[in-house]
Amino acid sequence: MDLKLDNKVAIVTGASKGIGLAVTRTLLAEGARVVATSRRTSPELDALADDRLVHVPADLMDPEAPARVIAEAVRLHGGVDVLVNNAGGPPPGVSLPRSSFVDASDADWRAMFEFNLFSAVRAIRAVLPVMLERGGGSIVNVSSGNARQPSPINVDYGAAKAGMNNLTKVLSEEFGPRGIRVNTVSPGPVRTAWWTEEGRVADTIAAQAGTDRDTVMDSLVPEMMRLSTGRLADPQEVADAVVLLASPRSASTTGAEFAVDSGFLKGL
C-alpha cells in the first residue's frame, strides 16, 4: 500500500533507538523526509544515513528545545507535515520500575512530566502554526498502556501518559476542523532498551525474581502481564501503527487511541 508520504516532512522525537528508530526507518522507506531528534545519535540511526534524514540533537528536558527542533525543520524543509511525539520513558537519572508510589519524590514527578508530557505539549504548541500555514498535518503521540491500566510501580509515568491521552482528544476536537489530525498509539511492553539494556527493567525484575533477563522477557513478563500473544511487541509493530496514522491514508482518523500491546489491556 502506498501511504502517500513521499516528500512529506516528518519530525520524530526519541529517534535514536527503539520505537523512534523504527518509526524513522519506516518513514524513510515510505519516501518521507525525516528530522530525527534525540540527545545523541546512535550507530543504528547513523546506519540510516540518507539525504532525506537529518539528526537534530536536542535535550527535550530543556523547555526551549522542542521549538528549536521545529524551527530547524522549517529552516531545512520549509514546513512540517507530521510530528511524532515518541520521546518518553524514564527521564535522565530516573530508574523504573519503582517498588511503590511513595518512592517517587516531587522532583521525580516533575521530571517524569517534563519528559513524557510537557515536551510533547511544547512541540505541539510550536508545530501548530506551521501546520496550519501548510493547510494541515498529522500529530501522533506515543503513549502507553499504563495510561489506562494503572501500575503502582510506574505511577508517575502512567499519570503523565494519561495526560497525553487527554491532550490528544482535546487537540483533535479543536484542530480537526482545520486539517490537523491528532492520534495516540499506546504500546504495551516492547523489546526496547528500557527492557533490554543492562541495569534496566528486565534486570531489575530478574534480580527480584531470582532469574535472568531472557527468562523475564520471554516468559515471566508475558505471564505476569497476561499478554494474549505470549510475547513482548517488536518496535516495528508499533512503528507500523504510528506511520499509518501519520499517513493521509488515515485521513478520517483523529482523536483515536490505537493499542499495540500484545493484548495487555483487557477492558473496553
Largest CA distance in the chain: 56
Is-catalytic flag, 232? no
Return the C-alpha cell found at 197: 539494556
Among 113, 115, 118, 157, which one carries the catalytic annotation?
A: 157
Grid cell of 247 as nine digits: 499517513
User: What is the SS3 string spanning the chain?
Assistant: CCCCCCCCEEEEECCCCHHHHHHHHHHHHCCCEEEEEECCCCHHHHCCCCCCEEEEECCCCCCCHHHHHHHHHHHHHCCCCEEEECCCCCCCCCCCCCCCHHHCCHHHHHHHHHHHHHHHHHHHHHHHHHHHHHCCEEEEEECCHHHCCCCCCCHHHHHHHHHHHHHHHHHHHHHHHHCEEEEEEEECCECCHHHHCCCCHHHHHHHHHCCCHHHHHHHHHHHHCCCCCCCCECHHHHHHHHHHHHCHHHCCCCCCEEEECCCCCCCC
Distance between alpha carbon 209 and the CA centroid of its chain, in Å?
A: 29
Q: What cell numbers appear for 202 in the block?
A: 528486565
Active site residue ranges: 157
